[in-house]
Amino acid sequence: MPLLFEMYVERDSPIHRLDPRVKLLWFLCVMICAAIVNSAVPASIVLLWIIGVAASARLPLKRLLLLAQALVYMIVVCVLMWPLFVKSGSVLFKWDWLVVTNNGILVGIGIGFRIASMILASAVIFMTTTQKELIESLRTLKIPEHFVFASVLALRYIPSLMGEWNAIAEAEACRSPSRGRGPVATIRKVFAMRSHAIPIMHRTAKMTTELSLALDSKGFNPERRPTPYLELTTRNSDRAFAAVSILFVSVYVALRFLLMPQQMWIEIY
Amino acid sequence: MENVVEIRGLCFKYEDTEASVLNDVNLKVREGEFLGIMGPTGAGKTTLCLCITGLIPHTVSGQLAGEVIVAGMKTSEHTLYDFVPQCVGMVFQDPESQLFGLDVEEDVAFALEYEGLPRTEIRKRLQWALNVVRLDGFEERFPYFLSGGQKQRVAIASVLASRPRVLVLDEPTSELDPIGKGEVFRAIDDIRRTFQCTIIVVEHDTEDLVRFADRLVVMNKGRIALEGRPNEIFRRGSQAQTLGVKPPQVTELGYLIHDQHMSEWAEYGIPLTIEEARDRLLRALEKRDASLGKYAVHEHPLDARKDEPLVEAKDLWHIYGLGTEREIAALKGIDLAIHPQDFVAFIGQNGSGKTTLAKHFNGLLKPSKGSVLVNGRNTKTASVSELSGMVGYCFQNPDHQIFNTTVYDEIAYGPRNLRLSKEQLHDRVLEALRAVGLEGYEKLNPLFLGKGERQKIAVASILAMHPRLLIVDEPTTGMDWRTLTTMMNLIKHLNESGMAVVFITHNMEIVAEYAKRIVVLFDGKVILDGSTGWVFSQPDLLMKALIAPPQITQLAQTLKSYFRPDTLSVRDACEHLRLLSRGGTNNAVAL
């Protein structure tokens, strides 16, 4: 999984140009839609909606295919696993204790699509929105500054700490026995990571101390909300996109809870 | 001119230390002054900076006595926000820990946003600060991916944007190549001249400092031991040298001329800068009718090497992120051999590929194309562990390679993995400790020792593996001259006892003093490879690699009718002068 800062794809697309707050609203709508359905058809419509947005963002096919490959594996696992638990619906196959029903298959596909939707929607957000825009939208949405700044630091220092970790791992490898290849070697390597604890804790503590000094020296005050340097503006296209997203989620909520509850949500037992 | 900083009777003791770090410090800094602070490691320089910025006592706790007044405000009687960042700003040694934004723009605008300035003003100051440090166009770059010099300049811009009256910089250039170092100093000096900003810089390297500083302070054991203009601090017989402060090489030449009673060169005096030294020497030389005559620099001796190489790189390429959109070719077709008993320095500007190349020698990195043979074995098919008995790698930061809580266990960590008997293991640990002069440290916790000692432990832990080639990455970064020479003498001793050594450094004086061979890297390619004297006498190619030879070599090269261009040390230069005073040096450099 690439790091977040590596995920952003620079493009001049309608989705890139959207106000990040509208994209977050869309993301929320997608999450609601995906969460309230478990059947294959409604879940596939949500997935198609996200694919449509990804296509409008002109995201690189190579990267999307890499992601799609992982998602297909996950959907296959869901389709194989869920029929074992779903007992409702007409029986398609029966052998000893194993009973596979049509509902089991539909739910398997539905849950697979649901998880795929959530992952793909997150990827679309990170591939079309800079971290800075995301952070600034959190600020304008009045999320507490403690949380916002902690997110900034987390995003900023992930690569630094990974760099530290890699340097420690390299230093350790220079003085370690050969651990060979294969699964046993992997387990040995994981156990060997115990020795990384001392240097990584030492380095992190040092970095944290220096960071707090640097923050204080720049007049950082967690009680104070800073002037947002990045100006977020909402245009008609943003309003239209937001309206469509809200309409979509409203229709889904109505179908799920009022109009077609059985088609949208299959009872497992 | 008004004093912008006034320190009276300042004493400070950290909560977790027994002794005071600052003892009765008294100091006044005038508005617009450029003050340099020097002194050995542990002298209290950083603590003094923290007191000036008010971080002591507001952020760092301990026992404080005396007073610090900045821009008329007593720091202990005001909140930090009263004088930070508008009155005083600080740039720390490690740029990594002070750049916390998601892009350069955010870092530079950070303090301004918290000051509550309007957006238009923030934008104006942001552009101005980036322009001052010559980083226009870098606004949207992610700080992690910038070079060391660029990060340091962003750190300066981020403080500068608040237009502080006092700018404090704690070893701002310790990890930079010579050109990057010069750039940072010139930027600081520009800021001082243009905006009447007061500059306080802590620095070990005196060559740049004496050029720009109005006044120097030498600290020792928490006190101000010396204070004065650069020419007063470095006058002959000054206490500065005994306090571990290394003067510029041209100044050292003056000391040597005097100590060796070479009265015919007395006119040289004690210069501080290369320009001063050149003018004085030229005047003295022109009075004498002596010239160097014909000479030739030794050809590099590598072609003559017949012994089997220990490490051999053939058409070595390394591409980071191979197969992704972010491919970066760090090495581009390197052909290089390291022989037994070589003492090689890898030099080049930040990002030229030095560390990437060295990491191929013990298999930490595998070639993207081409091959590396270690004692005839292809590293593509060998693990790092399998090569560790042949090639030892000592990392730049000793803190990355300390995994144990006692020195003994730390040194034994590698050999223990070689399945030695208990006695053999014990012998190896003691032998390694002896080699680095740390006998008796066995039971101490390495994390609580000084950086110099931790660096020695890191070397000892590699030595205990009995490698035939020792690679030391930046062994001297952030060290004072005394610690630095101790470390290099240790490495030299190891080389003399038969171990091949490759070291990576930006310190050209160290290279000239210790290396027998230099490999110059530029943009992933080896552009020079030869004996130390030969490489340093190729100024045009060095310029291409953005490398500046040591100051004394530069002096010799500006006076090329009189000096050999491969003059490497102050001793060499002094010897040339002695020969010149005997009426010409044709005999001295017959090659």
Closest by Cβ to B113, choosing from A171, A202, A227: A227
CB B267 within 8 A of CB B284: yes
- For chain B, the average pLDDT equals 88
- The pLDDT of residue A67: 87
Query: Hey, what amino acid is at B233?
Result: I
The answer to whether residue B367 scores a pLDDT higher than 90 is yes
CB B165 within 8 A of CB B71: yes
Q: Does A216 touch chain B (CB under 8 A)?
A: yes
Please give the residue of chain B at the shortest CA–CA distance from A60.
B325
- The pLDDT of residue B120: 92
Beta strand pairing call for B3-14 and B22-30: antiparallel
Q: How do residues A202-261 score in pLDDT, each as one tens digit?
A: 888 888 888 899 999 988 887 777 887 788 889 999 999 999 999 999 999 999 999 988
Q: How do residues A12-71 score in pLDDT, each as one tens digit?
A: 999 999 999 999 999 999 999 999 999 999 999 999 999 999 999 999 888 888 888 889
**What phi and psi, each to the nearest 5 degrees, are found at residue A94?**
-140, 130
Please give the residue of chain B at the shortest CA–CA distance from A145.
B114
Q: Does A207 touch chain B (CB under 8 A)?
A: yes
CB neighbour list of residue B462: distance below 8 Å, 6 or more residues apart: A174, A175, B392, B393, B394, B414, B470
**What phi and psi, each to the nearest 5 degrees, are found at residue B317?**
-120, 140
Query: Contact B106/A164, CB-based, under 8 Å?
Result: no
- The pLDDT of residue A158: 80
CB B476 within 8 A of CB B505: yes
What residues of A are in contact with residue B393 (Cβ under 8 Å)? Answer: 170-171, 174
End-to-end CA distance of chain B, in Å?
58
Query: Contact A202/B384, CB-based, under 8 Å?
Result: no
Q: Does A65 touch chain B (CB under 8 A)?
A: no
- For chain A, the average pLDDT equals 87
Q: Which two tokens stand for residue B341?
A: 């008993």
In 3D space, the residue among B400, B390, B403 whose CA is nearest the CA of residue B502 turns out to be: B390
Query: Hey, what amino acid is at A219?
Result: G
Among B86, B400, B429, most A C-beta atoms within 10 A, so best to mutate, is: B400
- The pLDDT of residue B420: 84
Please calculate the CA angle B385-B388-B391 and round it to the nearest 5 degrees. Answer: 150
Query: Contact A170/B359, CB-based, under 8 Å?
Result: yes
Q: Which two tokens stand for residue B587?
A: 């005999």
Residue B307: pLDDT band (50, 70, 90) is: confident
Q: How far is CA B359 from CA A12, A171, B330, B353, B443, in A?
A: 40, 11, 12, 10, 32
What residues of B are in contact with residue A227 (Cβ under 8 Å)? Answer: 112-113, 116-119, 122
In 3D space, the residue among B386, B383, B377, B396 whose CA is nearest the CA of residue B503 turns out to be: B396
Give the pLDDT mean for B23-30.
96
Query: Contact B403/A224, CB-based, under 8 Å?
Result: no
Residue B529: pLDDT band (50, 70, 90) is: very high
In 3D space, the residue among B441, B449, B385 whose CA is nearest the CA of residue B415 turns out to be: B385
Residue A180: pLDDT band (50, 70, 90) is: low
Higher-scoring residue by pLDDT: B367, A220: B367
Among B399, B413, B471, B474, most A C-beta atoms within 10 A, so best to mutate, is: B399
Query: Contact A175/B461, CB-based, under 8 Å?
Result: yes
The answer to whether residue B576 scores a pLDDT higher than 90 is no
Please calculate the CA angle A129-A53-A68 and round it to the nearest 5 degrees. Answer: 90
Helix (H) or strand (E) holding B114: helix B104-115
Percent of chain B clearing pLDDT 90 (strictly above)? 54
CB-count burial class (<10 Å; 0-12, 13-18, 19+) for A223: exposed
Cite the beta strand spans of B194-338 per DSSP E. 198-202, 215-220, 223-228, 311-320, 328-338
Beta bridge partners of B347: B520
Q: Does A244 touch chain B (CB under 8 A)?
A: no
Residue with tokens 């501080």: B272
Task: For residue B301, give the DSSP letter.
Answer: G
Among the residue ranges B102-106, B249-253, B335-339, the one predicted with the least confidence is B102-106
- The pLDDT of residue B589: 42
The answer to whether residue B474 scores a pLDDT higher than 90 is no
- The pLDDT of residue B187: 82
Higher-scoring residue by pLDDT: B95, B368: B368
Closest by Cβ to A218, choosing from B110, B405, B461: B110
Residue A154: pLDDT band (50, 70, 90) is: confident
CB neighbour list of residue A132: distance below 8 Å, 6 or more residues apart: A230, B102, B103, B106
Q: How far is CA B7 from CA A85, A216, B27, in A?
A: 76, 21, 5
CB neighbour list of residue A209: distance below 8 Å, 6 or more residues apart: none
Give the pLDDT mean for B187-203.
89
| Chains A, B: CB pairs < 8 Å | 177
Closest by Cβ to B403, choosing from A130, A170, A172: A172
Residue B303: pLDDT band (50, 70, 90) is: low
Complex confidence, ipTM: 0.80
List, in sequence order, the alpha helices (H) in A97-144: 102-128, 131-140
- The pLDDT of residue A30: 95
Query: Contact B102/A130, CB-based, under 8 Å?
Result: yes
Query: Contact B447/A155, CB-based, under 8 Å?
Result: no
The answer to whether residue B145 scores a pLDDT higher than 80 is no
Among the residue ranges A85-89, B24-28, B45-49, B179-183, the one predicted with the least confidence is B179-183
Query: Contact A174/B158, CB-based, under 8 Å?
Result: no
The answer to whether residue B6 scores a pLDDT higher than 50 is yes
The helix/strand/coil state of B518 is strand
The answer to whether residue B396 scores a pLDDT higher than 80 is yes
Residue with tokens 């995201």: A59
Helix (H) or strand (E) holding B14: strand B3-14
End-to-end CA distance of chain A, in Å?
36
Q: Which two tokens stand for residue B236?
A: 């002959």
Give the pLDDT mean for B308-314.
94
Please give the residue of chain A at the shortest CA–CA distance from B118.
A227
Query: Contact B386/A202, CB-based, under 8 Å?
Result: no
Please give the residue of chain B at the shortest CA–CA distance from A66.
B324
How many Å apart are CA A190 and CA A196, to the nearest integer?
A: 10
- The pLDDT of residue B590: 35
Closest by Cβ to A212, choosing from B59, B109, B122: B59
Q: Which two tokens stand for residue B361?
A: 């020698």
Q: Does A224 touch chain B (CB under 8 A)?
A: yes
Query: Contact A168/B401, CB-based, under 8 Å?
Result: yes
How many Å apart are CA B461 and CA B67, to the nearest integer?
A: 45
Q: How do residues A99-129 score in pLDDT, each as one tens digit?
A: 899 999 999 999 999 999 999 999 999 999 9
Give the pLDDT mean for B39-56.
92
- The pLDDT of residue A175: 84
Among B113, B139, B141, B449, most A C-beta atoms within 10 A, so best to mutate, is: B113
Beta strand pairing call for B88-91 and B73-74: unpaired
Closest by Cβ to B385, choosing from A132, A173, A224: A173
How many Å apart are CA A23 and CA A14, to the nearest integer?
A: 11
How many Å apart are CA A209 and CA A47, to the nearest integer?
A: 45
Residue B191: pLDDT band (50, 70, 90) is: confident
How many Å apart are CA A118 and CA B2, to the nearest integer?
A: 63
Q: Does A192 touch chain B (CB under 8 A)?
A: no
- The pLDDT of residue B544: 85
Half-sphere exposure of residue A158, counting CA atoms within 13 Å on the CB side?
Answer: 12
CB B87 within 8 A of CB A218: no
Query: Contact A175/B112, CB-based, under 8 Å?
Result: no
What residues of B are in contact with residue A202 (Cβ under 8 Å)? Answer: 399, 402, 447
- Answering whether pTM is above 0.90, one says no
Among the residue ranges B26-40, B170-184, B522-536, B570-584, the one predicted with the least confidence is B170-184
Higher-scoring residue by pLDDT: B147, B278: B278
What residues of A are in contact with residue B447 (Cβ under 8 Å)? Answer: 198, 202
Q: What's B304-333 look like in SS3?
A: HCCCCCCEEEEEEEEEECCCCCCCEEEEEE
Q: Does A194 touch chain B (CB under 8 A)?
A: no
